[in-house]
Structure 1
Amino acid sequence: MNSTMPAAHGAPRSRAAALGRLLVLTAVVPAELLLLAVVLGSFALWFGLGIFFLFPATTRLARAAAGLARAYAGRWSGVPVPPPYLPRPALERTLHGWFWTGHDYQKNRRFASVSRTLRWLWKDPATWRDVLWVVLNPVVGGALAVTPPLLLASGLYTLACTVLALPTPGLAPDLAPDLGLGAPLALPLALPLALLLGLALAAAGPALARPALRLHGRWTRLLLGPTERSRLARRVEQLTETRLEVTEAQAAELRRIERDLHDGAQARLVAVSLRLGAVAALIDRDPARAKTVVTDAQENVAQALQELRDLVRGIHPPVLAERGLAEGLRALALDVPLRVDVRAELAGRAEAPVESAVYYAVSEALTNAVKHAGARCAAVDLVHADGLLRAEVTDDGRGGADPGRGTGLRGIQRRLAAFDGTLTLVSPPGGPTRLTMELPCALSSPRTSTS
Structure 2
Amino acid sequence: MTNDTKSGGRRTTARGMGLAAVRGLALALIALPGAVLCLVLSLVSIALIPIGVGIVTTPWVLTGVRTFADWRRVLAAEWGGVRIPPAYRPLPQGANPWTRTFGMLGDPATWRDLLWLPVDMTAGFITALLPAVLLFYPLEGFAIAAGLWRVLDGYWYGFVPVTDQASALGAGALGVVILFFAHFVSAPLLQAHFRLTGAVLGSDQGELTERVRVLTQTRRDAVDTSAAELRRIERDLHDGAQARLVAMGMDLGTIEMLLDKDPEKARQLVAQARRSSADALAELRDLVRGIHPPVLAERGLGDAVRALALRLPVATEVNVELPGRAEAPVESAAYFAVSEVLTNAVKHAGADRIWIDLHHANDMLRVTVTDNGKGGAVIGAGSGLVGIERRLGTFDGVLAVSSPAGGPTMVTMEIPCALS
Query: TM over 0.5, yes or no?
Result: yes
- Provide the TM-score with structure 2 as the length reference: 0.73
Instruction: Flag the 1:55–1:439 CA change in 2: closer, same or farther, 3 A.
Output: same
Name the counterpart of 2:373: 397
1:327 Cα deviation from its structure 2 partner: 1.4
Letter in 1 for 2:69: A
Please give the alpha-carbon distance, in whole angstroms, between the structure 2 residues aligned to 1:282 and 1:141.
Answer: 92
1:287-326 paired onto structure 2 within 5 Å: 287-326=263-302
Instruction: Flag the 1:307–1:88 CA change in 2: closer, same or farther, 3 A.
Output: farther
1:57 Cα deviation from its structure 2 partner: 3.3
Name the counterpart of 1:182: none
Please give the alpha-carbon distance, in whole angstroms, between the structure 2 residues aligned to 1:247 and 1:113.
Answer: 40
Please give the alpha-carbon distance, in whole angstroms, between the structure 2 residues aligned to 1:441 and 1:158.
Answer: 53
Check whether the contact 1:62–1:134 (CA below 8 A) recurs between aligned residues. Answer: no
1:325 Cα deviation from its structure 2 partner: 1.4
Please give the alpha-carbon distance, in whole angstroms, between the structure 2 residues aligned to 1:431 and 1:13.
Answer: 23
Instruction: Flag the 1:158–1:429 CA change in 2: closer, same or farther, 3 A.
Output: closer
Instruction: Flag the 1:86–1:157 CA change in 2: closer, same or farther, 3 A.
Output: same
Name the counterpart of 1:98: none
Name the counterpart of 1:82: 83
1:229 Cα deviation from its structure 2 partner: 1.4
SS at match of 1:430: coil
1:133 Cα deviation from its structure 2 partner: 2.0
Q: Does 1:341 align with 2:339?
A: no
Name the counterpart of 1:438: 414
Q: Does 1:66 align with 2:69?
A: yes
Name the counterpart of 2:41: 38
Name the counterpart of 2:116: 133
Please give the alpha-carbon distance, in whole angstroms, between the structure 1 residues aligned to 2:345 and 2:158.
Answer: 66
Instruction: Flag the 1:379–1:276 CA change in 2: closer, same or farther, 3 A.
Output: same
Instruction: Flag the 1:74–1:85 CA change in 2: closer, same or farther, 3 A.
Output: closer
Letter in 2 for 1:37: V
1:291 Cα deviation from its structure 2 partner: 3.3
Check whether the contact 1:85–1:124 (CA below 8 A) recurs between aligned residues. Answer: no
Check whether the contact 1:272–1:300 (CA below 8 A) recurs between aligned residues. Answer: yes
Name the counterpart of 1:193: none
Letter in 2 for 1:220: T
Q: Does 1:267 align with 2:243?
A: yes
Please give the alpha-carbon distance, in whole angstroms, between the structure 2 residues aligned to 1:314 and 1:134.
Answer: 55
Name the counterpart of 1:350: 326
1:326 Cα deviation from its structure 2 partner: 1.5
SS at match of 2:380: helix
Please give the alpha-carbon distance, in whole angstroms, between the structure 1 residues aligned to 2:403 and 2:103.
Answer: 38
Select the structure of larger CA radius of gyration: 1
SS at match of 2:336: helix
Check whether the contact 1:86–1:124 (CA below 8 A) recurs between aligned residues. Answer: no
Letter in 2 for 1:134: L
Check whether the contact 2:374–2:407 (CA below 8 A) recurs between aligned residues. Answer: yes
Name the counterpart of 1:189: none
Please give the alpha-carbon distance, in whole angstroms, between the structure 2 residues aligned to 1:375 and 1:158.
Answer: 56
1:396 Cα deviation from its structure 2 partner: 1.0
SS at match of 1:434: strand
The partner residue of 2:351 within 331, 350, 375 is: 375
**Cα deviation digits, residues 72-109 of structure 1 (max 9, x gap):** 77799x7x6422313786xxxxxxxxxxx8x5xx7xxx
Task: Give % identity.
Answer: 49
Name the counterpart of 1:222: 199
Letter in 1 for 2:275: E
Name the counterpart of 1:253: 229
Check whether the contact 1:343–1:382 (CA below 8 A) recurs between aligned residues. Answer: yes
SS at match of 2:396: coil
Instruction: Flag the 1:395–1:254 CA change in 2: closer, same or farther, 3 A.
Output: same
1:404 Cα deviation from its structure 2 partner: 1.2
Letter in 2 for 1:234: E
1:205-216 paired onto structure 2 within 5 Å: none
Please give the alpha-carbon distance, in whole angstroms, between the structure 1 residues aligned to 2:386 and 2:105.
Answer: 35
1:329 Cα deviation from its structure 2 partner: 1.2
Aligned pairs, number: 369
Letter in 2 for 1:35: C
Check whether the contact 1:394–1:434 (CA below 8 A) recurs between aligned residues. Answer: yes
**Cα deviation digits, residues 271-324 of structure 1 (max 9, x gap):** 112222223333343343333333322222221111111110111111122222
Q: Does 1:48 align with 2:51?
A: yes
Name the counterpart of 2:60: 57
Instruction: Flag the 1:305–1:122 CA change in 2: closer, same or farther, 3 A.
Output: farther
Please give the alpha-carbon distance, in whole angstroms, between the structure 1 residues aligned to 2:266 and 2:129.
Answer: 99
Check whether the contact 2:24–2:129 (CA below 8 A) recurs between aligned residues. Answer: no
Please give the alpha-carbon distance, in whole angstroms, between the structure 1 residues aligned to 2:89 and 2:254.
Answer: 67
Letter in 2 for 1:132: L
Instruction: Flag the 1:300–1:116 CA change in 2: closer, same or farther, 3 A.
Output: farther
Instruction: Flag the 1:338–1:47 CA change in 2: closer, same or farther, 3 A.
Output: farther
Check whether the contact 1:390–1:439 (CA below 8 A) recurs between aligned residues. Answer: yes
SS at match of 1:382: strand
Letter in 2 for 1:257: I
Please give the alpha-carbon distance, in whole angstroms, between the structure 2 residues aligned to 1:432 and 1:128.
Answer: 46
